[in-house]
Amino acid sequence: MAPMQILVAATKNGAFACGKSGEFGTIEPGKSADILIVRGNPLDDLRQLQNVRLVIKNGAIIRREERERL
């Protein structure tokens, strides 16, 4: 699978499989969104998902890289 297909399978398709696609799985108005911000582009290399800069859960920052100044 290509990186984009893997990310879609883990998010959009995962929510659909759980019967929750109306609540989460994609970033859209009205949906709950947890966002992971990473240093590099995971579409170029999925290992970039290990280089977490910021985690936002339910609209609140729950983890921020110490060196990061946003």
Write the DSSP symbol of residue 5: H
Per-chain mean pLDDT for the chain = 90
Domain identity same for 22 and 43: no
Strand order from edge to edge, sheet including 35-38: 35-38, 52-57, 60-64
Strand partners, 52: 38
Q: What pTM was computed for the model?
A: 0.75
Q: How many domains does the chain have?
A: 2
Task: Say whether both 41 and 9 belong to one domain.
Answer: no
pLDDT in tens, 22-53: 999 999 998 888 899 999 999 999 999 999 99
pLDDT for residue 10 is more than 60: yes
Task: Verify that 64 and 49 share a domain, yes or no.
Answer: yes
